[in-house]
Amino acid sequence: MHQPTMDAVKPVAFEDDLALHIGGATRIAILGVGDDLNPRDRPGILAALLIHELGVPNVTVFLTGTMPENYTGALRALRPSHIVLLDSAEMGKTPGSLGIIHPERVRGQRFSTHAMPLSLVIEYLERELAARVLLVGVQPDAALPAGPAEAAPSAAVMDGLYLLRRALGRATRGMW
């Protein structure tokens, strides 16, 4: 989970912003990032699973867990024009809020629940794959305990994840 300070956006603005960021994509890689054993760090993984259910052509979903850097070989072979990382992000907003976190906001950050800070992963993907990289944050529910692993996400977080799925579906409609 990352802790950038930023403003989460309203649903319609988020959908428009996402469509703008992935406009012109020829192939999209979705990376579900997070710790599946930690309910507060799981939203990125859950969002990726929901997006996978859409079955959108030219969108490939990877469940990377806490080590998205381990998927660079698969991404190199896929050659995506755009990479969207989905992760829990402490944005100081209500649970389930969504935000596009610009790479400049996470550059230099070293605190992370991941094996390698996402700032380094983003820099590598941009440099080595020449892909446009986007980080989408989902505000976790701080009221959830860090365990047990089987704890269900709150209704507010699930609402945000369904909004994210709908936004990606709309943004890619008619693209290919």
CATH code of the domain in which 105 resides: 3.40.50.1450
Residue 1 counted as domain residue: no
Return d(Cα 41, Cα 146) in angstroms, integer: 9
Residue 129 counted as domain residue: yes
User: What is the residue whose two structure tokens read 């990479």?
Assistant: 83
DSSP state of 107: T
Structural domain boundaries enclosing 116: 11-172
Q: How many domains does the chain have?
A: 1
Residue 40 counted as domain residue: yes
Return d(Cα 47, Cα 35) in angstroms, integer: 13
Helical packing angle, 155-172 and 11-22, nearest 10°: 40
Residue 60 counted as domain residue: yes
Residue 44 counted as domain residue: yes
Residue 116 counted as domain residue: yes
Residue 97 counted as domain residue: yes
Q: What is the pLDDT along the chain (176 residues), one digit of tens a residue?
A: 544 434 444 567 999 999 999 999 999 999 999 998 888 899 999 999 999 999 999 999 999 999 999 999 999 999 999 999 999 998 899 999 999 997 667 655 544 555 678 888 999 999 999 999 999 999 999 887 766 777 889 999 999 999 999 999 999 998 87
Residue 6 counted as domain residue: no
Q: Which two tokens stand for residue 93?
A: 């907003």
